[in-house]
Amino acid sequence: MHFLVSWDIKVAEPEWTKLNQQLKQCLEGYSWVKPLKTVYVVKVSDNEEKKAIKEKLNAVAKTNQGKINILITPLMEGGIYNGWLPVDLWDKIKKRTS
């Protein structure tokens, strides 16, 4: 199972990097790939793991209200992604989505 999470940070450097690191820390311990600047395909075992990640991400956003927007997809099994990415990313995405 996997889900996509993406965020938009609406501040300039160096605060952008600090907030991005805080959000990335919410994914620690999970298998993920980043095909775009702030888009992550995250592999999880069940909905409880997704929920735990979502709660951590939302806590960072709430602490920094007005600076961060987050979008999280529903939990998915399988699926095929399409687009234009470097070849090595497709294998990394497949590893987390199959």
Q: Where are the domains of the chain?
A: 2-97
Contact, 4 vs 40, CB < 8 A?
yes
6-18: per-residue pLDDT in tens?
999 999 999 999 9
In this prediction, residue 56 carries a pLDDT of: 98
Is the pLDDT score of 95 beyond 90? yes
State the helix-helix crossing angle for 47-63 and 15-25, rounded to 10 degrees: 160
Is the pLDDT score of 98 beyond 90? no
In this prediction, residue 79 carries a pLDDT of: 86
Q: Into which CATH architecture does domain 2-97 fall?
A: 2-Layer Sandwich (3.30)
Average of pLDDT values for 44-61?
Answer: 98
Integer CA distances (angstroms), 44 to 3, 49, 95, in order: 8, 6, 12
